[in-house]
Amino acid sequence: MSVGLAAVLQAAVLAAIVAATAGPLGNHLARTFTTDRDLAPERWIYRLGGIDPRADQRWTSYLISLLAFSLASILAVIAFLQLQAHLPLSNGMGAMPFHQALNTAISFTTNTNWQSYSGEAAVGHFAQMAALAVQNFASAAVGIAVVAALIRGFTRERTDRLGSFWVDLVRGVVRVLLPGAAIAAIVLVLGGVVQNLDAPHEITTLTGGHQQLLGGPVASQEAIKELGTNGGGFFNANSAHPLENPSPFTNLFENALMLVIPFGLVSAFGVMVGNRRQARTVSLVMATILGLMVLGTTVSELAHPGTASQLAGAAMEGKETRLGVPASTLFAASTTGTSTGAVNAAHDSLSALAGGALILNMGLGEVAPGGTGSGLYGMLILAMVAVFIAGLMVGRTPEYLGKRLGPGELKLIAGYILVTPALVLLGTGVALAFDGPTSSILNSGPHGLSEVLYAFTSAANNNGSAFGGLTSATTFYDLALALAMLLGRFLPIVLVLALAASIGRQGRVPVTAGTLPTDTRLFAGLLLGVVLVIAGLTYLPALALGPLAEGVR
């Protein structure tokens, strides 16, 4: 089988899996966030936490609850990492340096899972399970809760009440993430992924040397890291490690896990607003962008210039031979198109143009299809921008899903669009302006710039993957990237919830002959153009100095 045919078949199988699961999962998600019925485990949690499941919070209360929960999560993870030497199943791991523990705690709480440490050499089994894996569930549920609140803003009238954050959080974990991760973990164990609590085993190599082989609760963490679009890795090699991802089957399964909830949430959006065609329009744009990124990265790797690459049939540097180029580029596009950040190949070894495509994929706002919740609310905001632009063209007040977009809403939308690029470009500029941070760059010239640009793009967009040539385990990068992750997660959430309340206060605008249909292919084309133009105007200068300059040399 040719490499090109293998790429097409893998992409087709992945698309079929996602398409088959999006509808049923979307129906389940819609029921999860609209039903008045509480499950028994949920009622127990409400009683334990003193939560009123019938409460309907104003957007400010919803936001304060979310921020308080996230702050408590950050402090808890720091405590686990600082005290892990005194915890069971620590495997002899000591306290993590505070700046690194702070970075890690913010990283996992913000659904970024950036790691400036080697997992197997810095974190014991108990801390992996009780701190990091727990945040994989919690941070994913927070993102789902925020998009549920935004959708309620479109479906409600004359109110700024968006539901209960605590109910949304609990239901997201109990009804969606826990059962999904449990099933996925069983499949991964059957596929050969390790799941135990063993201490490191010392083995004798063929040359007579000695090496420690570490096991651990890998499958359970791998399942939620992909399903919750979290990222990170139990091992330093991440999803390229044979104990995390042993075969082409597990690789395709993990790739599918990254995509099912983001696309399922789009389907749920259609159910909740009572118009499935709206969901199909958004899904079409997401799938088109993802397909373009897969095509671009795959072609760049298969057609990479150079004698070694041409003799090997493709650029094999940094790839696992058991997976090959098509599985690696498909995974890379999926992980940067979502907020996952898991990697099954060394992104730093990709061709310059493929690496640039991944940076752009994150720079789009990770809306193809984005993280759990964050991808959909990012795309809905861009859809409102598309409606506004269309309104300017025909001289009409923009409307989206029966709600007018006035000056107040447009200011919130503009703030949302500007936050992440500002963090990326300012962070990159500061890191390149001083000798200390620049000493962490392994490669000089355009590729060195790409390494730094990738790091801040990944952090501010809550992705978590990296170009390995950048030494980020320093005080500067731990603190700078932690700040980018923190602001890149919570400033957009503040603006999204404020926007949800603003449109929720309105009544519904009746559809007239001048109303722009937003469930057509024409609007899908307009939305696609808006996504590409906004990201292009923002990132093209930086990309021109980094990956594009390197690629045309």
Exposed/middle/buried for 292, CB within 10 Å: 0-12, 13-18, 19+?
A: middle
pLDDT given for residue 553 in this prediction:
63
For residue 417 the two structure tokens come to: 């669009």
Q: Please say if the pLDDT value at position 315 is more than 80.
A: no
Per-residue pLDDT averaged across 414-423, rounded?
96
Each residue of 234-272: pLDDT tens digit? 998 999 999 999 999 999 999 999 999 999 999 999 999
Task: pLDDT band for 550, please (50, 70, 90 cuts).
Answer: confident
Residue 81 has pLDDT above 70, yes or no: yes
How far apart, in whole angstroms, are the C-alpha atoms of residue 373 and residue 172? 11
Average predicted confidence (pLDDT) for the chain: 93
Enumerate the H helices of 399-438 as residue ranges: 407-433, 435-438
The pLDDT tens digits of the residues spanning 494-525 come to: 999 999 999 999 999 988 877 889 999 999 99
Tens digits of residue pLDDT in 90-126: 888 999 999 999 999 999 999 999 999 988 888 999 9
> Which residues are CB-contacts of 370 (< 8 A; sequence separation ≥ 6)?
229, 262, 286, 337, 338, 339, 376, 378, 379
In the structure, what pLDDT confidence band is assigned to residue 39 with cuts at 50, 70 and 90?
very high
In the structure, what pLDDT confidence band is assigned to residue 207 with cuts at 50, 70 and 90?
A: confident
Q: What SS3 string covers 317-364? A: CCECCCCHHHHHHHHHHHHHHCCCCCCCECHHHCCHHHHHHHHHHHHC
The residue ranking higher by pLDDT, 67 or 443, is: 67
pLDDT greater than 70 at residue 310 = no
- Is residue 246 within 8 Å of 193, Cβ to Cβ? yes
* Among the ranges given (33-42, 479-488, 505-514, 523-532), the one the predictor scored with the smallest mean pLDDT: 505-514
Task: Give the other-Cβ count within 10 Å of 306's Cβ.
Answer: 11
How large is the average pLDDT for residues 398-405?
A: 93
Count of residues making up the chain: 553
pLDDT given for residue 99 in this prediction: 95
Percent over 70 (pLDDT), the chain: 97
Q: Which of 177, 190, 179 is nearest to 219 (CA)?
A: 190
For 121-152, the pLDDT digits (tens) are 889 999 999 999 999 999 999 999 999 999 99
Cβ contact 543:361 at 8 Å: no
Split at pLDDT 50, 70, 90, the class of 77 is very high
Question: For position 91, what pLDDT does the model report?
Answer: 87
Specify the pTM: 0.95
Res 346: pLDDT: 93
Does residue 210 have a pLDDT over 60?
yes
Confidence of residue 178 (pLDDT cuts 50, 70, 90): very high
The burial of 325, by beta-carbon neighbours within 10 Å (0-12 exposed, 13-18 middle, 19 or more buried), is given as buried
| pLDDT confidence band for 320 (50 / 70 / 90) | confident
CA distance 328 to 330: 5
Token pair in block for residue 446: 């355009």
Give residue 306's pLDDT.
65
Per the CB < 8 A criterion, the answer to whether 285 and 365 are in contact is no
